């Protein structure tokens, strides 16, 4: 049987530890397909104070809601609009190709948060893409005209 020097034994221990670390973390090195994530448009149990898009707003007024816009009357009532925000869902998607133009930037102010939640809506024929916190989603379970009735 061959005897190893102290230095050779240290090298064997170091390489064995490196191999064990690699084996324990092998799942972090392999690419993983991310499943389609479906999340609500607004956080669960969020208390919305105001929705702003350009010069138009949906504002909490006592126990109800009112729309402030330069266009006048809307086809969607304020209650229907806030319901659309609460029922809207976002499904994760990759970065869309061929999006041109400026987004419809909308800020939703929630109770208990000092900063508003920013949504960038990109309406494309047949689908609406939404960018939230540098992540791309597709809008589902509602329409852009229900969320922002002043946008035509």
Summarised one tens digit per residue, pLDDT across range 87-136 is: 999 999 988 988 888 999 999 999 999 999 999 999 998 899 999 999 99
| Alpha-carbon distances, residue 37 vs 26, 135, 137 (angstroms) | 24, 11, 9
Q: What is the pTM of this model?
A: 0.74
Summarised one tens digit per residue, pLDDT across range 68-90 is: 998 777 889 999 999 999 999 99
Distance CA 100, CA 82 (A): 28
E-assigned strand segments in 29-76: 38-40, 48-53, 56-61, 64-68
Contact 122, 103 (CB under 8 A): yes
Contact 135, 75 (CB under 8 A): no
Angle 82-150-77 from CA coordinates, rounded to 5°: 40
Contact 137, 90 (CB under 8 A): yes
Question: Structural domain boundaries of the chain?
Answer: 38-147
């Amino acid at each position: 049987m061959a005897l190893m020097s102290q230095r050779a034994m240290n090298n064997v221990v170091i390489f064995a530890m490196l191999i064990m670390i690699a084996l324990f973390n092998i799942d972090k090195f392999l690419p993983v397909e991310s499943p389609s994530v479906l999340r609500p448009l607004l956080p669960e149990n969020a208390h919305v104070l105001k929705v702003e898009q350009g010069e138009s707003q949906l504002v909490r007024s006592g126990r109800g809601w009112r729309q402030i816009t330069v266009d006048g009357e809307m086809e969607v009532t304020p209650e229907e609009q806030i319901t659309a925000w609460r029922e809207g869902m976002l499904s994760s998607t990759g970065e869309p190709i061929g999006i041109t133009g400026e987004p419809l930037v909308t800020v939703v102010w929630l109770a208990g948060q000092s900063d508003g939640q920013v949504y960038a809506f990109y309406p494309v024929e047949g689908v609406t893409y939404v960018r939230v916190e540098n992540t791309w989603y597709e809008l589902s379970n509602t329409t852009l005209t229900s969320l922002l009735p002043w946008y035509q």
